[in-house]
Amino acid sequence: MAAIDDLISQIQDAELRDRIQKEVNKLSKQKKFGLVFEEHLPECTPLYDMPIKRGCTVMLRDSKEDKSVYIVAKLEGENAICIKRDSQEEPVTFAVTEIVRVAEFGEPIYPYLKPLDAVCNAPDSDLWHTLIEADNYHALQLLEYLYVGKVDCIYIDPPYNTGAKDWKYNNDYVDGSDVYRHSKWLSMMQKRLILAKKLLNPTDSFLIITIDEKEYLHLGCLLEELFPEADIQMVTNYINPHGSYRKNLFSRADEYIFFVRFGNAAIAYTDEDMIHPSESSEKRDVWARLLRGGTTGYRTHAPNLFYPVFFDRETGEYRGVGESVPNGVTKEEVPIPEGCFAMFPVSSTGVDRTWGVSPDTFLDKIEKGYIKFGPYKVGSEYRAIYHLQSGTIKAIETGEMETYGKNSEGTLIVGDLKKSVAPFTMWVKSTHDARANGSMLLTKIFPEIRFSYPKSLYAVHDTLKFVVANKKDALIIDFFAGSGTTLHAVNLLNAEDGGRRRCIMVTNNEVSTDEAESLRKKGIMPGDDAWNNLGIARYVTWPRTVCTIEGRTITGEKLKGAYLGSDIPMEVGFKSNVAFFQLGFLDKTAVSLGMQFKEMLPTLWMKTGSIGKCPTLENSAIPPMLILPDNKFAVLINENAFSVFEEELAQHPEIQSVFLATDYDVNYRAMAKNLNVEHTYQLYRDYLDHFRLNRGRN
């Protein structure tokens, strides 16, 4: 460029010199090498719940041939007179039922979250995950409003662009005959990754993307271009011991995982190098049975070691210990707390024996995590009890044995290695078999599987563990959620180490091509309830989420087996809560007038951290204020009630996020100044300005 600039400077004609310099400057800003592709607009999103109005943008509701965008010029009864955009063709008439409103790239949208369902299996926990049914581009726009710079990890498994009908662009499947399929795929990914970058914590986070050989080269170049400040590594993961046949080529047995590291983020080293069997899997079992054996283990020898341990009759959770029972007092005479059963040190033959420690020592050990309980089956009134003995405890206290936190019951997770190892970039683990621990795992939940190529639960579990093992409060997002493996893996991680990691999943609600054809023959169209109920979000992702949390199949039977690498029975489920929403779109005028506060409430809940169960307004009347201590946020809806609002808020110091509805900046600043809270937001200006100003800039 220096040589070109020198030559330009020698041009005598000043006007010509300036014009050439401007054109050269434009060229210098374009891509000179590396990835070059057509930057297509993202696909249009159908807005089935939005009314058809004059001037709105529409497409045919279901057409294989005509994918054109139309503008509604006039409504005449049940018909709409439409003009094809950017065309001189004559207007055409469609029945209103034949068309659907669409949102296009660059068009300002005002999203909201419509509650569909929820599962609450941990009523005492204020931690809630979220599943959003939506086109992920618009969902990412909403998440940018909610969590810019706050996300610890984004994990995505996008369509691999295999040439089969595995993804849509502009509401039509992209197949192998489309000469622009690689370009369209890159454009689709670029728009979403730009938004994803805004969500990630720039000083400490990871972006993780799985891919195969069809697009890994293109994706690698795109990542280098979009994230020049990050460190990028690619891992090869062995996922198919049977191989995937390629005619005249090698059989495919692996896929790739890109790790994009930002700021000071670091991989959490463990005792696994991801190729060789873990040494910890061959170590001796450090947990000893608490029930004493031998000739000295009878109750008569040490009556102070004969006492009950109480467990919840329904859940099997530990509830406490009783006092030592003197000789001569029967077990039946010992009072048992309501709703509990008692475990006494009794042999399999019914002989009274003793526990290995006194009640006081038991309480001390359980506080330190040195007591462990076996699986519980409802109705059995039995849980095996284990403890760490003095030699193991000494090894832990001197650092000879490593620990990795505690599980959900407060039990210490112990290992054998004196130091951790750095994992290799080649992963060879039998648990990562996508068929055995992906497809076959889903068959335990569903009588008939309707999802192709789900990830191995343990492959996702291990991938996430490397980046959030030391972040027990991490926020994790997956905007290509598919069957819901990511949330399943997050729940398993939390159960193993007592973490409170929160997961947000986004998936569309597409049906398969075969199902779509069958539904059309029955007169069922996209947007109809019968169509929606067979979509992936409602038919696969949400049922899997509910069933794995509740430990059952979709027919209500208990799940069988235990999670590999842990002693957690699948039938126990997870102490977890999840809210299920559908992304919709609001009218900005109605929002600005405060007419859609009820619809916006879930968005405010998510913006303040999704704490506690999502609040709802049962009545159509909107109160002047909402004080929500369980959710740790409050809303002033009528600014004339500010003085009462201020007094009420002072009674709840746990509330540190407040929304103030006012059209006037001066009033907002004055009210915010008087509140002793960490975060304040101006409704509805904060929301409307975000989506108005950000339109098209991504």
- Residues contacting 63, CB < 8 A, separation 6+: none
Q: Give the integer Cα–Cα distance in Å for 416 and 433.
A: 26
User: Residue 531: inside a domain, yes or no?
Assistant: yes
Q: Which helix (H) or strand (E) holds 99?
A: strand 99-103
User: Residue 297: inside a domain, yes or no?
Assistant: yes
Q: Are residues 329 and 441 in the same domain?
A: no
In angstroms, the Cα distances linking 298 to 302, 305, 343, 498 are 7, 10, 16, 36
- What residue numbers bound the domain in which 78 lies? 45-103
Q: Are residues 568 and 653 in the same domain?
A: no
Name, of 99-103, 192-196, 272-276, 297-301, the range with top average pLDDT: 192-196
Find, among 574, 573, 459, the residue nearest to 128 by Cα.
574
Q: Are residues 72 and 129 in the same domain?
A: no
Q: Are residues 26 and 74 in the same domain?
A: no
Find, among 458, 189, 374, 416, the residue nearest to 280 by Cα.
416
pLDDT in tens, 462-495: 999 999 999 999 999 999 999 999 999 999 999 9
Q: Are residues 454 and 551 in the same domain?
A: yes
User: Residue 314: inside a domain, yes or no?
Assistant: yes
Q: Are residues 77 and 175 in the same domain?
A: no
Cα dihedral 556, 562, 563, 564, rounded to 10, equals -150
Under 8 Å between Cβ of 588 and 689: no
User: Residue 167: inside a domain, yes or no?
Assistant: yes
- 255-277 exposure pattern, b = at least 16 Cβ within 10 A, e = fewer: bbbbbbbbeebebeebbbbbeee
Q: Give the integer Cα–Cα distance in Å for 86 and 134.
A: 28
Q: Give the integer Cα–Cα distance in Å for 142 and 97.
A: 29
User: Residue 388: inside a domain, yes or no?
Assistant: yes
Q: Are residues 439 and 534 in the same domain?
A: yes
Instruction: Give 382-387 contacts, CB < 8 A, sequence gap 24+.
Output: 382/343, 383/311, 383/316, 383/343, 384/289, 385/289, 385/290, 385/291, 385/309, 385/343, 385/355, 386/287, 386/288, 386/289, 386/290, 387/287, 387/288, 387/290, 387/356, 387/357
Q: Are residues 452 and 511 in the same domain?
A: yes
- CA atoms within 13 Å, Cβ hemisphere of 605: 30
Q: Are residues 443 and 563 in the same domain?
A: yes
In the listed set 65, 85, 103, which residue is the last one of a domain according to the structure? 103
CATH of the domain at 538: 3.40.50
User: Residue 251: inside a domain, yes or no?
Assistant: no
Q: Are residues 126 and 98 in the same domain?
A: no
CB atoms within 10 A of CB 592: 16
In the listed set 550, 580, 610, which residue is the last one of a domain according to the structure? 580
Which has the minimum average pLDDT: 231-235, 312-316, 401-405, 648-652?
401-405
Q: Are residues 345 and 481 in the same domain?
A: no
Q: Is the pLDDT of residue 548 over 60?
A: yes
**pLDDT attached to residue 417:** 42
- 288-299 exposure pattern, b = at least 16 Cβ within 10 A, e = fewer: eebbbeeeebbb
pLDDT in tens, 417-449: 445 678 999 999 999 999 999 999 999 999 776
pLDDT in tens, 572-602: 999 999 999 999 988 888 888 888 999 999 9
Cα dihedral 513, 519, 521, 526, rounded to 10, equals -90
CB atoms within 10 A of CB 409: 16
Find, among 506, 579, 489, the residue nearest to 196 by Cα.
506
Under 8 Å between Cβ of 129 and 490: yes
User: Residue 61: inside a domain, yes or no?
Assistant: yes
> The tokens of 11 are what?
């041009």
pTM of the complete model beyond 0.85: no
**pLDDT attached to residue 38:** 62
User: Residue 122: inside a domain, yes or no?
Assistant: yes
In angstroms, the Cα distances linking 201 to 194, 231, 399 are 14, 14, 33
> The tokens of 603 are what?
């968005």
- Report residue 693's pLDDT band, with 50, 70 and 90 as the boundaries: low
Q: Are residues 617 and 499 in the same domain?
A: no
Give me the mean pLDDT over the 384-404 stretch. 86
Which one-letter DSSP state was computed for residue 326?
P
- Residues contacting 265, CB < 8 A, separation 6+: 204, 205, 206, 467
Pairing of strands 57-60, 70-76: antiparallel
**Going edge to edge, which strands form the sheet with 204-211?**
111-120, 577-585, 129-133, 502-507, 475-478, 153-156, 204-211, 254-263, 231-238, 426-427
Give residue 131's Cα distance to chain centre: 7
Q: Which helix (H) or strand (E) holds 514?
A: helix 513-521
pLDDT in tens, 127-145: 999 999 998 998 999 999 9
- Domain total for the chain? 5
